[in-house]
Structure 1
Amino acid sequence: MSTLQRPKSGTMIGGVCAAIANRFGWSVTLVRLLTVASILIPGPQVIIYLILWAFIPKEI
């Protein structure tokens, strides 16, 4: 497992899904699909994504 950092490459919007996938050794595509699917369910998912985007550091 690596640290939780948004990668420089391989990101689509903010790199949050790629950071989570890299941290836990999951498929980036799977995390992205789950994120999009969760947005269809009512709740604060978009706000959580934006907060994570702000607080997960970018890879140096």
Structure 2
Amino acid sequence: MNALTRPGNGRVLAGVCAGIADRFGWSRTFVRVAWVILSFFPGPLWIAYVVLWFLMPAEGNRR
């Protein structure tokens, strides 16, 4: 499995969904569609996205 990083290519917003998809071997489209659907339900999904945006290193900038 790949490390959890935000890819340099194929980003739509910050690359969080693409990074999660790459890490687990899922389709990027699946993760993005799932995120959009789940974002309509109450919960901390938007907060989690922003937190991951700051915590996930960009590809090539691993800590």
TM-score scaled by structure 2? 0.93
The one-letter code matched in structure 2 to 1:2 is: N
Q: CA deviation at 1:11?
A: 0.5
How much is the aligned-residue C-alpha RMSD, in angstroms?
0.5
Paired-residue identity, %: 48
**Which residue does the alignment assign to 1:43?**
43
The one-letter code matched in structure 1 to 2:23 is: R
Q: CA deviation at 1:59?
A: 0.5
Q: Distance in 2 between matches of 1:38 and 1:53?
A: 18
1:19 aligns with 2:19: yes
Moved over 4 A (4+): none
**Which residue does the alignment assign to 2:31?**
31
Q: Distance in 2 between matches of 1:27 and 1:41?
A: 22
The total of aligned residue pairs comes to 60
Q: Distance in 2 between matches of 1:20 and 1:38?
A: 15
Q: CA deviation at 1:44?
A: 0.9
